[in-house]
Amino acid sequence: MPKVASTRRPKQKPKLGQHFLVSESAAMRMADALGDVSESTVLEIGPGRGVISSLLAKRARRLIAVEIDRSKSSKPIFFPSISILCLDPNPD
């Protein structure tokens, strides 16, 4: 089971509709609900702190995680099967 980097709750940005998953058992149930994805490419929208991403990256052939919050996409998750894309709706 992946460990959350910090027990502190991250600052949410309501305009982005952010809700952060903190329950490891809920993350496991969500990943389990996908069934066998070992031969699939999985698209995760809003990976946030990567709690589900780390589970999916171990199970899927490939995981593409799309994040719009730059502060979240800059925290890398190291798996050969993962691609993290930052699609900032308000580029500088």
pTM score, two decimals?
A: 0.67
**Sheet of 62-67, strand order:** 41-45, 62-67, 82-86
User: Which of 84-87's residues contact partners 24+ apart within 8 Å by CB, and which partners?
Assistant: 84/47
| pLDDT > 70: percent of the chain | 62
- The domain spans of the chain are 37-92
Low-confidence ranges of the chain (pLDDT < 70): 1-20, 70-78, 88-92
* Cα 3 from chain centre: 13
- Domain 37-92 CATH assignment equals 2.102.10.10: no
37-46 pLDDT tens trace: 999 999 998 8
Encoding tokens for residue 6? 């910090």
